[in-house]
Structure 1
Amino acid sequence: MNDRVEDLQKRDLAHIWHPCSQMKDYETLRPIIVDHAKGPYLYAADGTEYLDIISSWWCNLLGHCNPKINAAIKEQIEQLEHVIFVNFTHEPAIKLCEELTEVLPKGLNKFNFADNGSSSVEIALKIAFQYQLQTGHPEKQRFMCLSEGYHGETIGALSVGSMDLFAQMYKPMMMNNIHVKAPDCYRCPFAKDREHCQCECFKFAEEAFAKYAKETAAIIVEPIVQGCAGMRIYPPLYLQKLRKLCDECGVLLIADEIATGFGRTGKMFACNHAGITPDIMTISKALTGGYLPMAIVCTTDKIYDAFYDDYNKGKQFMHSHTYAGNPIGCATALAVLKIMKEEKILEHAAEKATYFHN
């Protein structure tokens, strides 16, 4: 270890409280000082080269220091770096929404901006709650979620997750939600396999809806794959059945595509595998290619219209973030979408996936 690395590690440990860490471990497992990065590689200050196989928490979609994204950010910085998003707007945000409308599941065409994934989940939950209230269903105040699900670590997001590692200590603060047994194709209780089943496990959702649908505002799911649960992949048929059941029971369907969106499952969005459109979708992470914190909550006209009225009626959605609709973040997201389209990223994904798997 050289003197510079040791000095930086000591200075880090003197002040920084790293996420999801027991800091005592860092006494022996010292933090790796990343000096620079390029493409899929991280280069540590001690000269070690690392393949960033987790794409820096699943968000670095197109490689580190991508020259096209770098150029887009530099250009936007000289134009407009930030502006309050209440009663002001700007072209990068407008263009981003227009382009997202072209690639999202059909019908998602209204967008509420946030600055991180957990916040977008909070927004989705609040929108669902308020929607039910403003459409004549004040009794619908609870949420359903899948067991072993993960949707972030703010209190509302924890409340619709089922990972006790993150949530156990905070349960006295959390909402009392309904946890539905999730599909688990690796340990199927019906002795089926993912390619040859009719989602017999959907009976658990049907039982929950029969009992709780009248008091449920929405169900939130990670579509196709539950990431934090151990990359548990389930059939698209499950989402198709869930979409139909939600429609029958007046329960909104929230798809958390924060981790699964932008080609992570081989299609632009995981919902595309099932050919369904959720009522609300959250996107973040790869949205800006790992460059800047930004998230968006995507909704349909049906949801949006329930909030549209004279201001004195009090139906507006009173939720805001300082960095909502940040112009640099929007320009970055536009660059990501442009690269994905021009370089046919999805078409090449299968080849690269096989390489990395091996």
Structure 2
Amino acid sequence: MTIKTTIASLALLGAAFSTAPASAHSSLETGQATADSMYKAVMRVPHGCDGKPTIALTIDIPEGVIATKPMPKPGWKLETVWGAYGKTYDYYGTPMSEGVTQIRWSGGALPDDFYDEFVFRARITGDLAGTTIAFPTTQFCPDGAQVAWTETAAPGQDPHDLPHPAPNLMVVAPAEKSGHGHGHGGMQTAMADGVAVEAPFARATAGPARNGAAFLTVRNAGAEADRLIGAKTPVAERAELHTHLHENGVMKMRPVEAIAVPAGGVATLEPGGDHIMMMGLKAPLKEGESFPLTLIFEKAGEVTVDVPIGGVGAMQGSGDSSHHGTHDMKMKSN
């Protein structure tokens, strides 16, 4: 792997390597990421240079990792080196041909006895699916000392045998759908751009009901917050985002513009709370069947999941979809 040339001011710090133990090397907190998604990198620095404090740190960004943004660190100066990418990438519809190729924190002092973390976020492009990429990282210490975690393993070689292995990230292909999801859909999962939709389910509709509701969990593994802004399904004339409001002991159901999904967080759509309202059902929802539901996210785009249909009383909770009607409909809370 080609290591990018460090900026001139770093060369003044020297080129001597320390003999820090390989068992305590710099590494990424999360060693796996999904292609075509945002990734929050936390670089762990466990020690200095043979007793000397770390006063600067650089991380080289490999090809295929774009839109890199480092997190400022109190007491440290933050700089980035920009350069051309090997190709032009698509970033949410915007062509991107250059960006950050190296991050540098300097001017601080991390004692050898202490541990700290250096954070950045970036997009892992689809080109990297099925590969393992390296983030060469160098610690600089006083008197010209440094520890360069830049070595990469040869084919068939165990990276743990290297004295100074570069922090590695395994990139897996995005899973459009995994699991079986029979019955109540507890194993059903769909994923797009770091957002995973899990455990969807709906209830069978009773009689001539024209409306139904879908419930699910959304997990955002990305470094940025997202919003669920819409939904669509071929089994209904339209789908809307709804929630329940409790006013004076009465439950009211109202549409909402969006449902927030925090970075690294979860949004739960469940009976009695936020949910997806399917209005104008084209046929009754029958227990044991399933239907496709496409969720529309502000940043992650669209993700489609198969929604299993349980019994009329499946996943008991207030706000049974069979009673769900107009926006002004009221229902007594339990």
Q: TM-score, normalised by structure 2?
A: 0.22
In terms of Rg, which structure is larger? 2
Q: Which structure exhibits the higher relative contact order, with contacts defined as CA atoms closer than 8 Å and separated by 6 or more residues?
A: 1
Larger helix proportion, structure 1 or 2? 1
Q: Going by fraction, where is strand more abundant, 1 or 2?
A: 2
